[in-house]
Amino acid sequence: MGSEPLKVGVLVSGRGSNLQAIIDASEKGDIHARVVVVISDKEEAYALDRARKHGIEALFMDPKAYPSREDHDRAMGDELEKRGVGLICLAGYMRVLSPYFVGRFQGQIINIHPALLPSFPGLHGQLQAMEYGVKISGCTVHFVDKDVDHGPIIIQAAVPVLEDDDEDTLAARILEYEHKIYPRAVQLFAQGRLRIQGRKVIVEGGVTPLWRVTNPSLEE
Ligand code: GRF
């Protein structure tokens, strides 16, 4: 029935739990998208094993094998294009992409960040939030532009920060929601419902927001 599933390429550097969430949603039929290739800049990334376990092509592309960042990005871009990828998901990909790559795939690259952007961009978003003392943090999926953790926001989830949290407990609580919002963002993209208007992402067909999170709660 209907169209071919959207072909997705995922860039990773590490454990790949967000990649797993996207693969699982795809296999369950929750999203009309299929991961066709996973590319890592780290040979030992567990994400590559996860991909292979699901019969997905997994490539290690060593940045050191290319004279410049742009050359590495160009080679990655060629691999993605060869496979007809329509969406590129960054899932714990730890290298900054060149303006060349971002320009080549304008509006087709999305990223997940473990904080409520524009707060706490960069590394250790969870620790930054904790140390700042916010009561609510969360996670964000956004389009990628030439600045790090900056492009138009697609979806966010709010997660409370508890008084006895450490970086790991907060990261785990946020991660649970990363695994929900990333597949959801992929599905909205696959459905062709995301329209970028300046800094805003309009979700066509409407969305139902949930207004609930306060911390501490409003009641005793
Ligand atoms: C996640 O916390 C994600 O938000 C950040 O890097 C981490 C990747 O985790 N960009 P995983 O590799 O998906 O498990």
The pLDDT score that the predictor gives to residue 220 is 83
Q: Assess whether pLDDT exceeds 90 at residue 60.
A: yes
Percent of the chain with pLDDT over 90: 93
The mean predicted confidence, pLDDT, of the chain is 97
> In whole angstroms, what is the distance from residue 63 CA to residue 70 CA?
10
To test ligand 1's pocket by mutation, which of 175, 176, 181, 186 has the most ligand atoms within 8 angstroms of CB? Answer: 175
CA of 92 to the centre of ligand 1 (A): 4
> In whole angstroms, what is the distance from residue 121 CA to residue 107 CA?
20
Pocket of ligand 1 (CB under 6 A): 14-18, 91-92, 112-114, 175, 178
Banded model confidence at residue 78, pLDDT cuts 50, 70, 90:
very high
The pLDDT score that the predictor gives to residue 218 is 87
**Active-site annotation holds for 113:** yes
What structural domains does the chain harbor?
A: 6-203 (3.40.50.170)
Nearest CA residue ID for atom 14, ligand 1: 17
Average pLDDT over residues 92-101: 98
Q: Single out the catalytic residue among 72, 113, 142, 179.
A: 113
To test ligand 1's pocket by mutation, which of 50, 95, 112, 142 has the most ligand atoms within 8 angstroms of CB? Answer: 112
CB atoms within 10 A of CB 6: 22
The length of the chain, given as a count of residues: 220
> In whole angstroms, what is the distance from residue 48 CA to residue 52 CA?
6
**Helices of type H across 2-141:** 17-28, 46-53, 69-82, 99-104, 125-132
Ligand 1 atom at shortest distance from the alpha carbon of 112: 4
The pLDDT score that the predictor gives to residue 211 is 76
Give the angle 7-139-62 at the CA atoms, nearest 5°.
Answer: 50
CA of 219 to the centre of ligand 1 (A): 34
CA of 170 to the centre of ligand 1 (A): 13
Average pLDDT over residues 112-136: 98
Considering the entire predicted model, what is its pTM? 0.97
